[in-house]
Amino acid sequence: MKKNMSLQTSRRTLLQAGLAGLGVAAAAPAQTANGQPADDYITPAMRTPGRPFTAYGMPASYEAGVKRIVTPPGISPGTGVSRTPLEMLEGIITPSGLHYERHHNGVPDIDPAAHRLAIHGLVKTPLEFSMDALMRYPRISRMHFMECGGNSGANSGPTPSQQTAGGIHGLLSCSEWTGVALGPLLDEAGVMPTGTWLLAESGDAAGLSRSVPLAEAHAQGILALFQNGERLRPEQGYPVRLLMPGWEGNLNIKWLHRLKVTTGPMMTKDETSKYTQLQADGRARQFNFLMPVKSVITRPSGGMTMQGAGYYEISGVAWSGHGAIAKVEVSRDSGATWVAAEMPGPVLPKCLTRFRLPWDWDGKTTVLMSRATDDAGNVQPVRSVWIAQFKPGQGYQNNSIQSWQVGADNSVKNTYV
Amino acid sequence: MSRFALIAFFCVAASPAFAADVPHFGAPADPARVKAWDISIAPDGAGLPPGKGSVAEGAQVYAAKCQSCHGPNGEGKPADRLTGGIGSLTSAQPVKTVASYWPYATTLFDYIRRAMPVTAPRSLTDAETYSLVAYILSVDGIVKKNAVLDAKSLPKIKMPNRDGFIDMFNKTAPR
C-alpha cells in the first residue's frame, strides 16, 4: 500500500514537471522561415510522405556497415572466403545475403532451365533431373547451421588474432533449408548392392567433389532448393546444393550437378590434401565428417567497446553436428566458475542455438568464456587440450573454447588462457 | 479413431512405398552427358583415360601454364606448394605438399584435369595432364626422370604418405 502511494506521488511529481516543461516550450517557440517551430519534436518523417514500394526490400541505409567480412582473394578473384558478421546479428537465422562464402573458383551463373542433376554409377537406371522435375517432389524444411571445416582456424595460430567474433568464427551461418529428400531419388535410380559411397560434384569452375558414405547420404541427405524461404542464393549453390546436416561445409556440394554411386571414397583433393587434420604424431584424420560441438559469445566480443561497469547481457550461439545443444555454460571470471546460460529456444538439432546470461560487470579486467555440451555428451574443449592433439597451425575443426578478455579500459580482445 | 482412419493407418504403415507416395520424375540420363561429366578418378585408377605423358613434356607444360602460380619446381607461392617436405609430417614444422602429404597420385590427375589452371579449368588435354603428374612427382623422385605415365602406370605409384591417414568414419561409424 505504501509502495502504491509513493508510486502515485512520484507520478504526480513527474506530471507536474512535464507540464512545467510544456509551459516553457509554449512560452517561447523558436520559428523557422516558413513559420514552423524549429524544434517541436515533429520529425521530417512525420511531415513528408515516405518513399514508395520496392520489389525487393533492402536493409535500412543506416545498417550499411552490417556486411560480410570479405577476405582478400587468394590465387584468383573467386578463390577464398567471406565471413558472416556474427557479432552484428541476433537470433539464430543468418540473413541469406550475409551467409558465409567459401568458393574455390568463383560463383557460377547457372540457368536453372539448362541445369541437370545426374545420378549414375552403380545404379540400375542412370537418371537425370531437370530443376522442374526436382521441384515436383514432396519437400521438407529444416533449420540447420552450415560451418566451414576451417572455421575458427585463426585460433590455431601461436598468438591470439585480434579480430571480431565474425572475423574468427564467421565461416558459420544458419538457414532454413527447403528441398527434396535424397533417399527416394537414389531409390528411383536403384542403387546396386555394391554401391556404398556417393561422389557429389559441383558444376562450377572448380568441379569440387567429395565422397559421402551412401547409407548416411540416403538417410540424411537433402537436395536443397530454397534458403530462408526463397530460392538458394548463387553463393549458396543455386539452383541446387547437397545438404548433409551437421557435416562439414565443404561436403555440402553447391551447384550440384552429379551424384555417382561408387564402391568406395574417390580420395578427391578436398578429402585428402584438405579437410584432414594432421595429428601430433604425424598421421592425419580423414573422413572426420561431423562438425564438433562449439559455441562463441558474440556480445560482448572482440573489437567491441564496453560502456563501463554495470549491466550487460552476455549472448552468443552454440551448435553441434552431432545433435542438439544440451547446455551452454558461461564463465565471467576467467574460468574460475561456470554458470548455465539461458537457452530461450528454439533448441534444434544441428542448428544454431542462442544463449543469454545477464552480467553485472564490476568494471575490472576479466575473461568471458562459453562452453557448450551437446545431447550426445560431447563437451567443447579448452584451447590447450584441443591444440595438443595436432601439429602446429592445423586449423580444421577447431572447436576450442573462445576466450574474450574484457579490459578495465573497456576493450574486448581475443585471448588465450 | 474412426474405422476408416484405422484402415488408412494400417495401409500407410504396412506399405510405406505406396506408388502414389513416391513419385518418379527422373528421366533416363543422356549417356553423352554422363560420359562428358564423369571425370572422377578412383584411387585404383578406374576412370583414367587413354593417352600418356612424360616428365619432359610435363616440364614444358608446367613452365607454360603452372609455374607462374606454383613457382619453379613446384616450390609454391602464391599458390600451394607441390613439392618437397617428404618426411616432415612427423616434425615440429610439417610441410604439406603433393609429394609429402597426398596419399594417391590418381588424385593429382583428377584435380589437375578438372580444376587447373585456375584461369582456364578443363582446358588441358589428357596427355598434358599425364605429363604434369609425371613432372610434379619427378621433382622429388617419386617417379624417375624418364617416366611416362598412363592409365596403367599412374595408379601403381605409391605416394610417400599413402598410409598416413586414419579413417575416422570407419572408426566411429556404428556398423
pLDDT tens figures, A383-406? 999 999 999 889 899 999 999 999
Cβ of B175: how many Cβ atoms within 10 Å? 7
**Residues of chain B by 3-state class (helix, strand, coil), percent to 5:** 40, 5, 50
Backbone angles phi, psi at A284, to 5 degrees: -115, 140
For A309-367, the pLDDT digits (tens) are: 999 999 999 999 999 999 999 999 999 999 999 999 999 999 999 999 999 999 999 99
Residue ranges of A 112-131 with Cβ closer than 8 A to chain B? 116, 118-120, 125-130
Mutation test of the interface with chain A: which of B169, B172, B175, choosing the one with the most A Cβ atoms within 10 A? B169
Q: Alpha carbon A157 to chain centroid distance?
A: 22
pLDDT over 60 at A2, yes or no? no
Q: B69 to chain A: nearest residue by CA?
A: A75
Quick check: A80 and A158 in contact, CB under 8 A?
Answer: no
Q: A278 to chain B: nearest residue by CA?
A: B89
Q: Give the closest of B42, B79, B169 to A262, CB-based.
A: B42
pLDDT of residue B171: 59
The answer to whether the bond into B117 is cis (omega within 30° of 0) is: yes
Question: Above 0.90 for ipTM, yes or no?
Answer: no
Mutation test of the interface with chain A: which of B21, B24, B136, choosing the one with the most A Cβ atoms within 10 A? B24
Quick check: A140 and A169 in contact, CB under 8 A?
Answer: no
Q: B120 to chain A: nearest residue by CA?
A: A205
Tell me the whole-structure pTM to 2 decimals.
Answer: 0.89
pLDDT of residue A67: 98
Per-residue pLDDT of chain B (175 residues; tens, 9 = 90+): 344 443 443 334 444 444 557 899 999 999 999 999 999 999 999 999 999 999 999 999 999 999 999 999 999 999 999 999 999 999 999 999 999 999 999 999 999 999 999 999 999 999 999 999 999 999 999 999 999 999 999 999 999 999 999 999 975 444 3
User: Measured between CA atoms, how close is A104 to chain B, in angstroms?
Assistant: 9
Q: Give the closest of A76, A282, A289 to B119, CB-based.
A: A76
* Length in residues, chain B: 175
Q: What is the DSSP string of A226-284?
A: EETTEEPPGGGTTT-EEE-TTB-GGGS-SSEEEEEEESS----HHHHTSS-EEBTTS-E
Q: Give the closest of A116, A267, A281 to B104, CB-based.
A: A267
Contact (CB<8Å) B30/A128: yes
- Could you tell me which of A324, A313, A351, A410 has the C-alpha nearest to residue A176? A351
**Contacts with B87 from chain A: Cβ below 8 Å:** none
Contact (CB<8Å) B169/A260: no
CA A216-A226-B169 angle, to 5 degrees, is 20
Q: Give the closest of A184, A207, A278 to B89, CB-based.
A: A278
pLDDT over 80 at A290, yes or no? yes
pLDDT over 50 at A12, yes or no? no
Rounded to an integer, what distance in angstroms lies between the CA atom of residue A243 and that of residue A174?
A: 12
Rounded to an integer, what distance in angstroms lies between the CA atom of residue B50 and that of residue A405?
A: 60
User: Measured between CA atoms, how close is B174 to chain A, in angstroms?
Assistant: 11
pLDDT of residue A193: 96
pLDDT over 90 at A135, yes or no? yes
> Mean pLDDT, to the nearest integer, of A110-125?
98
Q: Which residues of A250-260 are buried (b: 16+ CB within 10 A; e: fewer)?
A: bbbbbbbbbbb
Helix, strand, or coil (residue A55) = coil
Rounded to an integer, what distance in angstroms lies between the CA atom of residue A196 and that of residue A274?
A: 23
User: Measured between CA atoms, how close is A330 to chain B, in angstroms?
Assistant: 30
Contact (CB<8Å) A281/B90: yes
Quick check: B89 and B164 in contact, CB under 8 A?
Answer: yes
Mutation test of the interface with chain A: which of B38, B100, B154, B170, choosing the one with the most A Cβ atoms within 10 A? B38
Contact (CB<8Å) B168/A285: yes
For chain A, give the percent of residues with pLDDT over 90.
Answer: 88
pLDDT of residue A74: 83
Contact (CB<8Å) B164/A257: no
Least confident of A8-22, A244-258, A383-397: A8-22
In the predicted model, what is the mean pLDDT of chain A?
A: 92
Q: Give the closest of A199, A207, A272 to B104, CB-based.
A: A272
Q: Give the closest of B42, B69, B98 to A75, CB-based.
A: B69
Strands A116-121 and A101-103: unpaired
pLDDT of residue B4: 42
Q: A184 to chain B: nearest residue by CA?
A: B22
Q: B114 to chain A: nearest residue by CA?
A: A207
pLDDT of residue A149: 97
Q: Give the closest of A105, A257, A286 to B121, CB-based.
A: A105
pLDDT of residue A73: 84
A104 touches chain B (CB under 8 A): yes
